[in-house]
Chains A and B, each alone.
Chain A
Amino acid sequence: MNTPSAVLSGTGLFKSYGMTRALAGVDIGITAGESLAVMGPSGSGKSTLLHCLAGIERPDSGEVLLDGKRIDQLREPARSELRRTAFGFVFQSGQLLPELPADENVALPLMLGGTARREAVEQARQWFGPLGLQGLESRRPGQLSGGQAQRVAIARALVGRPKVIFADEPTGALDQTTGMEVIHLLAEVSRSQGAALVVVTHDANVARWCDRTVRVRDGLLAEAHTEAETGAEANAGYRR
Chain B
Amino acid sequence: MRALDRTTWALTWRLTRAGGRTGLLVTGLAVAAAAVSTTLLLLCVAMNLGFQHRSDRADWRNPVESSRPVAVEAVGTTFTRGVPVTVVDVARLPGRTAPAPPGLDRFPAPGELWVSPALGALLDRLPADRHPVPGTPTGTLGRAALTHPGELVAVVGHRSTDPAVTTPREPDPRRVGDIASPTRVASFTGAPLTDGMGGIYESLARVATVLVVVPLLVLGASAARLSVSRRDERLAALRLIGATPGRIAGLTAAEALLTGTAGALLGVVGYAVLLPVAASLPLAGGAWYPADLWIGAPPLLAVTAGVVALVVISALAGLRQVVVGPLGVARRSRSRGASAVRAVVFVVVVAVYGWITKKYGSDDSMALYAFAALFLALAVIGPWVVRLLGRIVTALAKRPATLLAGRRLLDDPKAAWRIVSGLTLAGFVAGFFALLTLDAASSWGGRPDQLAIAVPDNKVTQVRTLAEQRLHAAGVTAVIGDDGFVAQGPSDSRQVTATVSGGPADLDRARTALTGLIPDQYPITGPEVNWSEERFTRDFTTITRMVLVVTFTVAITSAGITAAAAVLDRRRTYGLLHLAGTPLRVLDAARSRETLIPVTVLAGGAVATGLLCGGSMMLAGGDSSFDARGLIVLAVCCAAGFGGILAVGALSRPLLRAVTRQAGTRGE
A95 to chain B: closest residue by CB: B576
Which residue of B333, B408, B586, B664 contacts A112 across the interface (Cβ within 8 Å)? Answer: B586
Given contacts A97-B404, A108-B400, contact A142 B333 (CB under 8 A): yes
Q: Tell me whether A84 and B403 are in contact (CB under 8 A).
A: no
Binds A, one of B70-78, B445-453, B577-585, B632-640: B577-585
As a 0/1 sequence over residues 496 to 540 of chain B, the CB contacts with chain A under 8 angstroms (1 = contact) are: 000000000000000000000000000000000000000000000
Q: Tell me whether A92 and B397 are in contact (CB under 8 A).
A: no
Q: Tell me whether A99 and B666 are in contact (CB under 8 A).
A: no
Q: Tell me whether A117 and B333 are in contact (CB under 8 A).
A: no
Which residue of A80, A143, A168, A172 contacts B581 across the interface (Cβ within 8 Å)? Answer: A80
As a 0/1 sequence over residues 91 to 120 of chain A, the CB contacts with chain B under 8 angstroms (1 = contact) are: 111111111100010001101100011000
Q: Tell me whether A143 and B333 are in contact (CB under 8 A).
A: yes
Q: Tell me whether A47 and B665 are in contact (CB under 8 A).
A: yes
Decide if A161 is an interface residue (CB 8 Å cutoff).
no
State A137–B332 Cα separation when bound (angstroms): 17
B415 to chain A: closest residue by CB: A99
Q: Min CB distance, B491 to chain A, in Å?
A: 76
State A217–B118 Cα separation when bound (angstroms): 86
Given contacts A83-B581, A84-B582, A94-B572, contact A99 B412 (CB under 8 A): yes
As a 0/1 sequence over residues 179 to 205 of chain A, the CB contacts with chain B under 8 angstroms (1 = contact) are: 000000000000000000000100000
Q: Tell me whether B572 and A99 are in contact (CB under 8 A).
A: no
Given contacts A94-B576, A117-B403, contact A99 B665 (CB under 8 A): no
Decide if A81 is an interface residue (CB 8 Å cutoff).
yes
State A92–B410 Cα separation when bound (angstroms): 27
Decide if A87 is an interface residue (CB 8 Å cutoff).
yes
8 Å CB contacts to B: which residues of A19-50? 47, 50
Given contacts A100-B407, A112-B586, contact A91 B400 (CB under 8 A): no
Given contacts A98-B332, A112-B586, contact A104 B407 (CB under 8 A): yes
Q: Tell me whether B581 and A87 are in contact (CB under 8 A).
A: yes
Decide if A169 is an interface residue (CB 8 Å cutoff).
yes
State A109–B397 Cα separation when bound (angstroms): 15
Give the most central of B331, B398, B400: most A CB within 10 Å: B400
State A136–B583 Cα separation when bound (angstroms): 27
Q: Min CB distance, B20 to chain A, in Å?
A: 15
Give the most central of A83, A85, A142: most B CB within 10 Å: A142
8 Å CB contacts to A: which residues of B621-668? 664-668
Q: Tell me whether A111 and B412 are in contact (CB under 8 A).
A: no
Q: Min CB distance, A140 to chain B, in Å?
A: 7
Decide if B461 is an interface residue (CB 8 Å cutoff).
no
Given contacts A83-B579, A112-B586, contact A93 B403 (CB under 8 A): no
Decide if B24 is an interface residue (CB 8 Å cutoff).
no
State A157–B580 Cα separation when bound (angstroms): 9
Given contacts A89-B580, A168-B666, contact A97 B331 (CB under 8 A): no
State A58–B411 Cα separation when bound (angstroms): 37
State A84–B408 Cα separation when bound (angstroms): 22
8 Å CB contacts to A: which residues of B389-425? 397-400, 403-404, 407-408, 410-412
Q: Min CB distance, A15 to chain B, in Å?
A: 13
Q: Min CB distance, B657 to chain A, in Å?
A: 10
Given contacts A84-B581, A116-B398, contact A173 B664 (CB under 8 A): no
A88 to chain B: closest residue by CB: B580
State A87–B664 Cα separation when bound (angstroms): 17
Decide if B329 is an interface residue (CB 8 Å cutoff).
yes
B328 to chain A: closest residue by CB: A94
Point out the residues of chain B lying under 8 angstroms from A89, CB to CB. Answer: 576, 579-581, 665
Point out the residues of chain A lying under 8 angstroms from B331, CB to CB. Answer: 142
Q: Tell me whether B581 and A97 are in contact (CB under 8 A).
A: no
Decide if A77 is an interface residue (CB 8 Å cutoff).
yes
Which residue of A83, A84, A97, A143 contacts B573 across the interface (Cβ within 8 Å)? Answer: A97
Given contacts A104-B403, A112-B586, A116-B398, contact A98 B580 (CB under 8 A): no
State A36–B367 Cα separation when bound (angstroms): 72
Point out the residues of chain B lying under 8 angstroms from A84, CB to CB. Answer: 580-583
Given contacts A112-B582, A169-B667, contact A94 B573 (CB under 8 A): yes
A200 to chain B: closest residue by CB: B665
Given contacts A94-B576, A95-B573, A97-B577, contact A80 B407 (CB under 8 A): no
Q: Tell me whether B581 and A92 are in contact (CB under 8 A).
A: no
State A89–B572 Cα separation when bound (angstroms): 15
Given contacts A47-B665, A140-B411, contact A56 B579 (CB under 8 A): yes
B594 to chain A: closest residue by CB: A99
A84 to chain B: closest residue by CB: B581
Point out the residues of chain B lying under 8 angstroms from A200, CB to CB. Answer: 665
Q: Tell me whether A81 and B333 are in contact (CB under 8 A).
A: no
Given contacts A97-B407, A98-B573, contact A109 B667 (CB under 8 A): no
8 Å CB contacts to B: which residues of A54-68? 54, 56
B398 to chain A: closest residue by CB: A117
- List 15 additional contacts besides A91-B579, A111-B403; criterion CB under 8 Å: A50-B665, A51-B665, A81-B581, A82-B581, A84-B582, A89-B665, A95-B576, A97-B404, A97-B577, A98-B332, A109-B580, A109-B581, A117-B398, A142-B333, A157-B580
A-B contact pairs, 5 of them (CB 8 A): A95-B577, A100-B403, A108-B582, A117-B397, A140-B411
The 9 A-B pairs at the shortest CB distance, nearest first, are namely A84-B581, A83-B581, A99-B411, A168-B665, A92-B667, A95-B576, A111-B400, A89-B580, A142-B332
